[in-house]
Chains A and B, each alone.
Chain A
Amino acid sequence: MRTDELIRSLANDVPAVPRSALGQRLIFGMLAGAAISLLLVATMLGIRPDLGSAIYSFSFWMKCLYCASLGIGAIGLTARLARPESFGSRWYWLLAVPILLLAGISIGELAYTPPADWPAMWLGNSWRSCPWLLLLLSMPILVGLWWSFRRLAPTRLRLAGAAAGLAAGAWSATLYCLHCPEVSALFVLTWYSLGIGLATAIGALLGPRLLRW
């Protein structure tokens, strides 16, 4: 096709693009995926029966806030990586803040617990399944974000994939809090982070293949 014909056909279809189009698209893809993950939590795993009283506990909010703050940081990073220009990475060390805070709480927990109880606190009842369930729950969100990227222009594909994986993992972990009855910070710091890390690794692995344009 000749270039001027191409331009004529492209110029036939010029929908308006709102100022916040990029953010809207990412949020929409993420929410669509999260709806499926939420459905999976509710049907496959079940909401914890004591949720009504758990929302008054410190551990519940600690888990939620840890995962959600990682999720907010990761989606911000994803939004930046969805634009083609390179950018400074000044603010992204902030992603380490929730991890450091949770590590601080974990150290406090260890200090107040007799060493004989440390393994039980660390492993909880669900350490074997927790990271894998998080990884599974993150997949719908990752697919949603992949859909978002189809109209966006990432140029560092591995990094963009990793950021999307981190966002998917962190938000799936936030939803998983509705199911998971574990209470210790050390448990969350280890097994939640491992699940989120697995989702990040999957994103980094698939990024160069799926995000190409």
Chain B
Amino acid sequence: MRTSEEQLRAMMVAGMDGDAAAHGALLRLLVPLLRSFYRRRIHDGDDDIEDLVQETLIAIHTRRASYDRDRAFTAWLFAVARYKMIDHFRRRRRMVAIERLEDILVAEGFEDASLARLDAARLLHDLPAKQAEAIRQTKINGLSVAEAAEKAGIGESDVKVSVHRGLKALAARVRGEHQ
């Protein structure tokens, strides 16, 4: 069973009130959490990971005063763990191998946005050039209709009609209807 925020927080607060048993139990529960946190982000030997886990446990123990019991415990915990990880990299003064970079940077948003852009580019490729250009300028590059019209050297109503027809064709394509 996965331990929840409420459980961990209750044990932390009990430990801060001086309950040594609760504090020990909390530290033991944190070990697997921290191991998987670091394993997912650092590709070193298990010894290094274990050193980091121990250092983090010591920091959690000695710097408990920095936890505000009215705030989320896991946010505090992972902020400490993240600091220890960055400090680990800094101490090693090591370059992070480029093929591991995506594991370390939290890149979900970036990835989604890039995929969406690729999809849009592929769809637009199949439209007539004028419609594709009108959509690209107004919907992706963020130009106004007037600016797009001036850039393409055509009338504003022409741009509007091109956008309208192009979007209609794209919607049909996305729904799976081929012309």
Q: How far is the CB of A210 from chain B (nearest CB, A)?
A: 14
Chain B contact surface mostly: helix
Using CB atoms and an 8 Å cutoff, list the residues of chain A in contact with chain B: 1, 3-4, 6-8, 10-12, 14-17, 19, 21-22, 25, 82-86, 151-153, 155, 212-213
Q: How far is the CB of A17 from chain B (nearest CB, A)?
A: 4
With both beta carbons as reference points, the residue of chain B lying nearest to A157 in the complex is identified as B83
Interface size class of B (residues with CB under 8 A): 35 or more
Does chain A have a CB within 8 A of B18? yes
| Interface pair A84/B69, CB less than 8 Å apart | no
| Interface pair B76/A84, CB less than 8 Å apart | yes
| Interface pair A16/B18, CB less than 8 Å apart | yes
| Interface pair B20/A12, CB less than 8 Å apart | yes
Q: How far is the CA of A82 from the CA of B64 in the complex (A)?
A: 11
A6-B66 CB under 8 A given contacts A16-B17, A84-B80, A153-B83: no
| Interface pair B64/A17, CB less than 8 Å apart | yes
| Interface pair A3/B50, CB less than 8 Å apart | yes
With both beta carbons as reference points, the residue of chain B lying nearest to A212 in the complex is identified as B87
The one of B24, B54, B75 that contacts A85, using a Cβ cutoff of 8 Å = B75
Does chain A have a CB within 8 A of B154? no
The one of B31, B63, B82 that contacts A151, using a Cβ cutoff of 8 Å = B63
The one of B24, B53, B59, B69 that contacts A11, using a Cβ cutoff of 8 Å = B24
Q: How far is the CB of A163 from chain B (nearest CB, A)?
A: 15
Q: How far is the CA of A10 from the CA of B15 in the complex (A)?
A: 12
With both beta carbons as reference points, the residue of chain B lying nearest to A84 in the complex is identified as B79
Q: Which of B112-146 contact A (CB under 8 A)?
A: none
Does chain A have a CB within 8 A of B97? no
Give 5 nearest A-B pairs by CB, closest first.
A11-B24, A16-B18, A84-B79, A153-B66, A21-B65
A19-B54 CB under 8 A given contacts A7-B24, A84-B79: no
| Interface pair A83/B24, CB less than 8 Å apart | no
| Interface pair A14/B15, CB less than 8 Å apart | yes
Does chain A have a CB within 8 A of B8? no
